[in-house]
Amino acid sequence: MTFDELGVPVLINAAGTVTRLSGGIMAAEVAEAMAAATQSCVDMVQLQAAACREIQAATGASGIATSGASAAVLLGAAACLAGLDPARMNALPDVTDGRREFVVVRSQRNMYDRALVVAGGRIVEVGVADRYSGPGVRDAAAWEIEAAITKSTVGIYYLAVPQSRPTLREVVSVARAHSLPVLVDAAAQLPPACNLRRFIDEGADLVAFSGGKAIGGPQASGILCGRADLVASALVQMLDLDVFADRWSPPGEFAALAQLRGLPHHGIGRSCKIGKEQIVGLLTALRRFRAADPAARRARWQAMLEALIAAAGTPMRILPGPIPVAALDAGSAEAATRLAEKLAAAGLMCSESRREDGVLLFSPAAMTETQAPQAGGLIAAALNA
Cα–Cα distance for residue pair 364/301, rounded to 1 Å:
6
- What percentage of residues in the chain have a pLDDT greater than 70? 100
5-54 per-position pLDDT tens digit: 999 999 999 999 999 999 999 999 999 999 999 999 999 999 999 999 99
For residue 385, what pLDDT is reported?
Answer: 82
| Average confidence (pLDDT) over 374-378 | 98
Stretch 164-188: mean pLDDT, rounded? Answer: 98
CATH of 3-21+293-384, one of 3.40.50.261, 2.60.40.10, 3.90.1150.10, 3.40.50.150: 3.90.1150.10
pLDDT for the residue numbered 268: 97
Residue that wins the pLDDT comparison between 137 and 198: 198
What is the CATH number assigned to the segment(s) 41-291? Answer: 3.40.640.10
> Would the pLDDT of 237 be above 90?
yes
Tell me the average pLDDT across 188-217.
97
- Enumerate the β-bridge partners of residue 309: none
User: 134 pLDDT exceeds 90?
Assistant: no
Angstrom distance (rounded) from CA 303 to CA 373: 10
Which tens digit of pLDDT belongs to each residue from 60-107? 999 999 999 999 999 999 999 999 999 999 999 999 999 999 999 999
* Bond preceding residue 373 cis, omega within 30 of 0: no
Domain locations in the chain as residue ranges: 3-21+293-384, 41-291
DSSP conformation class of 131: H
Q: What's the pLDDT tens digit per position in 299-316? A: 999 999 999 999 999 999
Tell me: pLDDT of 215 over 90: yes
DSSP string, 227-293: -HHHHHHHHHTTS---S-GGG----GGGGGGGG-SS---S-TTGGG---HHHHHHHHHHHHHHHHS-
Average pLDDT, the chain: 97
Contact 93, 120 (CB under 8 A): yes
